[in-house]
Chain A
Amino acid sequence: MFGLVDCNNFYVSCERVFQPRLEGKPVVVLSNNDGCIISRSAEAKALGLQMGDPYFQVKPLLLQHNVTVLSSNYPLYGDMSRRVMWYLGQVTPAVEIYSIDEAFLDLHGLERFVVSRLDTFARTVRANLLARTGIPTCVGIAPTKTLAKLANRLAKKRPELGGVCYLDTEEKRCWALEQVAVEDVWGIGRQYAQKLYSAGITTAAELAGCSDGFARKHLGGVVGARLVRELQGTPCHGLAPSEDGTLARRSLCCSRTFGKPLSAFPDIMGAVTAFASRAGEKLRRQGDAAHFMTVFLSKSRYGVEPPPYSCSTVLTLPVATNDTLELVRYARLALKRLWQADNRYTKAGVVLDGLEPAGQTQLTLFEAGPVSEKRVRLMAELDALNRRYGKGTVRLATALTPPGQRQAPWEGQAQWRTPAYTTRLEDLLLVG
């Protein structure tokens, strides 16, 4: 059996732990740069606020209903997530951290030897998580990961289930499949959903009734076939636990919406340098080097300018690298290809793909040789300094804040950010 634990309205829940007066009131959390809604309390959902609603569009509604608006506070969410995941790791044989607020649990054998019933166990886990962190959760338990995800959805939508949905029998599995629309099945995106609707398939149950051949033909080959099998109750995916409990990635993305639209090349290059540096840091932390780099630039979707809103370019690096200086050098090349004068850009990003363990790179004919020892040491020193004295203490000059300005031109606003209650001594909760 697999379990899926999902934190309810995670960002809002984290905020409420340290601001109990927000309990029972409508609260939303905005994305980086206060762009759009990324977390809503139940009360905010009831007002009709949707995930991804741009802040400026729903501002009147928020004001009218006196909704508390908060900027995202990732240091806090990260620490609370760590606490949740740590506890799950203590009580189950294996955990796959799927996202900041979701984890798959391996529950095989647990029922036989440790606990009498998995749903009772799940209720205890929920209660303990609530006591230890103050974060409410829902748990779905089923024979496959796809069904566990589906069960979790039901646990969330049906209050009468008490936050736990356990699909232990054939009848329950069939019942659960009937309840869920096909577009809400894990792995079915908007395009596949449209295709399925036109083929007359609208519920998860109907999807589970599809033939292997149909799935292979219309749902992306073997991936689709596995999806249908998983819905039928045959596990096709195992747990992918990360060894250190963190999310080691097969690709890395670092992007931000700018605080204000930017046109000048140096301003945008400053942003791209900062993103490439950050991506390099992440790469080195997980001990990888990247082979491909994508740089993208976007314009506002809400402005007067016509599409395309976004352009990107991909570079194949001659040698996989995690050296910030190299990454920034290539990012500059990519940006030069993309950037056009007189455009007002609102967002940029750097994506690194083709990750492989650092230090076992293929040499090329035309490059001088493997990364020099000195550069590896330089990067290690850079990371050590930034760990000790705080993020961004030592950085490339291109990413510096221009003299006389408080923050770099690309840096966003976070007008309503709460203190980092658990990770900064200066920000601890005050109690009288």
Chain B
Amino acid sequence: MRNVELIPVTATQTPFLLPLFSCRISAGFPSPASDHLEELFDLNRLLLRHPDATYLVRVSGESMRDAEIHEGDLLAVDKQMEADHNHIVVAVVEGECTVKRLVCEDGTWWLKPENPAYKPWEIHDAGDVKIWGVVTHVLHEIVPGKLSALLQTRD
């Protein structure tokens, strides 16, 4: 005769899934604006035509002072845009980048500073000057903040 031991087996429990609401319920009055909350604008998307073809550069010197471009300002430069008369551009002159206004006068192209203390540059040969990009925006800090602080630490 064999001993038979009975082992009780509990019925398997099938899990029953309940939806979980992960938002908190506030006890006060709901904000009437909560359904209409929107993100702060993304300035890149708002202002830049081609964010992926746009590069930020920093200004050194005051050669563009009268166009309200000052030392330390940030410029948004669109590399894709075709440069034309009267655009402010970043140009490569003798291997160095410079920001100037591109002007056409009587068939002659010039890179002109906006400050009488600087001399305009006549473009004799189109091969001498390469347009790096067109300046689309200037970011100038009025209330000294992060940008100004950055300048002080670097310079």
Contact = CB atoms under 8 A, between A and B. Distances in A.
Interface stretch (B2-10, B11-19, B49-57): B49-57
A20 B52 contact: no
Centre residue among B52, B59, B94, B98 by max chain A CB count within 10 A? B52
Contacts, number: 66
A422 B56 CA distance: 7
A23 to B, nearest CB: 7
Interface of A is mostly: helix
A21 interface: yes
Given A128-B80, A132-B80, A426-B150, A20 B57 contact: no
B151 to A, nearest CB: 10
B39 interface: no
B141 to A, nearest CB: 12
A404 B130 CA distance: 48
Interface residues of A, number: 21
A15 to B, nearest CB: 13
B70 interface: no
Given A20-B97, A431-B58, A133 B53 contact: yes
Contacts of B98: 431-432
A25 B98 CA distance: 21
Given A20-B97, A20-B130, A87-B52, A431 B79 contact: no
A86 B58 contact: no
A132 B79 contact: yes
The residue among B55, B60, B92, B98 with the most chain A CB atoms within 10 A of its own CB is B55
A133 B50 CA distance: 12
B96 A21 contact: yes
Interface in B26-66: 50, 52-53, 55-61, 63
B111 to A, nearest CB: 12
Interface of B: 50, 52-53, 55-61, 63, 74-75, 79-80, 90, 92, 94-99, 130, 132, 150, 153-154
Interface of A: 20-23, 83, 86-87, 128, 131-134, 421-422, 425-426, 428-432
Given A422-B55, A431-B98, 15 more contacts: A20-B96, A20-B130, A20-B132, A128-B80, A131-B79, A132-B50, A132-B53, A132-B80, A421-B55, A426-B150, A426-B154, A431-B58, A431-B97, A432-B61, A432-B96
